[in-house]
Amino acid sequence: MARRSAANVSGEDFSFVSPVVKYLLFFFNMLFWVISLVMVGIGVYARLLKHAEAAMACLAIDPALLLIAVGILMFLITFCGCIGSLRENICLLQSVSSTKSSFFLAQYTARGKVSEVISNAIVHYRDDLDLQNLIDFGQKEFNCCGGISYKDWSQNIYFNCSSENRSRERCSVPYSCCLPEEDETVINTMCGHGMQALDYLEAGEYIYTNGCIDRLVNWLHSNLFLLGGVALGLAIPQLVGILLSQVLINQIKDQVKLQRYNQQHRSDPWY
């Protein structure tokens, strides 16, 4: 009787799967599962609106395709999280927790590739309309041109200054690099013509000569509190999901150990 009481105290009374943790984890995964469906839907809709040739021109940096890929990946992860929490499946929960931890760390290591992303975007500027609009918007908002400087636009086959380039935009920059004019009613899309052939002082009279990377860094420094709040808002749900997964995994393991302990001592006459 003493051994049975000890088993009850050490196991049955304290080793259990908390329904609060279980269903709270399910709620978190369900919330992000719905968000993933919305992301996929928006991405598919944006993709279908593209012209067929434009849709195949630059799959690697297509914002719509990126949205679809992230949405599908999030869908699979959160779906496994929902099933794992409801079925109390340790394998699924551990897989989801490890994947979420990896993505959480990847969000911070990916910042070092900003320069590479901008360079690839410049190269494929004319290949995708969504990408083109995104770059034009960024250059207008940050008052910048190119990655490091306006001469980065030579990386694009339409804007480079080589003698082999027969494009009318040879040695030019996009109109979004141009300084705004007062009382401008019609956008002059050729305002950046021949700007790469000028030096910094001469070109500075007509276009923004500073690159967008420096402008972006300066903007980040001046908005640290805002960005910190956004980053914290995104990080907290991920950390809560990871924590709840680990708590539920430990509770399930304790419950399995208790069941094994009880099975091993059922034949004991003193149990």
The reply to whether 271 falls in a domain is: no
Q: What percent of the chain has pLDDT over 70?
A: 72
Q: Is the domain of 48 the same as that of 35? A: yes
More confident residue, 32 or 235: 32
As a whole number, mean pLDDT of residues 218-223 equals 69
pLDDT digits (tens, 9 = 90+) for 37-75: 888 888 888 777 765 445 444 544 566 777 788 788 888
Q: 105 and 7: one domain? A: yes
Q: For residues 98 and 180, state if they share a domain.
A: no
What is 69-110 written as a DSSP string? HHHHHHHHHHHHHHHHHHHT-HHHHHHHHHHHHHHHHHHHHG
Contact 251, 21 (CB under 8 A): yes
Closest CA to 58 of 68, 70, 48, 66: 66
Tell me: do 105 and 175 sit in the same domain.
no
145 touches 173 (CB < 8 A): yes
* 253 band by pLDDT with thresholds 50, 70 and 90: confident
150 and 102: one domain? Answer: no
Same domain, 145 and 193: yes
The pLDDT, as a whole number, for residue 105 is: 64
pLDDT of the residue at 220: 67
Q: Which of 202-206, 211-215, 242-246 has the highest mean pLDDT?
A: 202-206
Q: What is the pLDDT of residue 111?
A: 56
Domain total of the chain: 2
Q: Which of 23 and 164 is assigned the larger pLDDT?
A: 164
Query: Which residue type does 236 have?
Result: I
| Burial of 20 from C-beta contacts in 10 A (0-12 / 13-18 / 19+) | exposed
pLDDT in tens, 152-209: 999 999 999 988 888 889 999 999 999 988 776 777 888 899 999 999 899 999 999 9
Cα 23 off chain centre by: 27
d(CA 136, CA 208): 13
Range of the domain at 150: 115-222
| Residue 60 confidence (pLDDT) | 47
What CATH number does the domain containing 137 carry?
1.10.1450.10
Does 232 map to a domain? yes
C-alpha to C-alpha distance for 85 and 74, rounded to whole angstroms: 16
Same domain assignment for residues 126 and 213: yes
Where is mean pLDDT largest: 19-28, 88-97, 153-162?
153-162
Is the same domain home to 135 and 98? no
Residues 66 and 147 in one domain: no
pLDDT on residue 1: 39
Q: Are residues 107 and 228 in the same domain?
A: yes
Nearest to 18 by CA among 254, 251, 258: 251
Task: Give the Cα separation of 98 and 80 in Å (integer).
Answer: 12
- Identity (one letter) of the amino acid at 195? M
138: closest CA among 153, 155, 124, 118? 118
Same domain? 217 vs 228: no
**Structure token pair of residue 117:** 């992303």
Out of 97-106, 212-221, 226-235, least confident range: 226-235
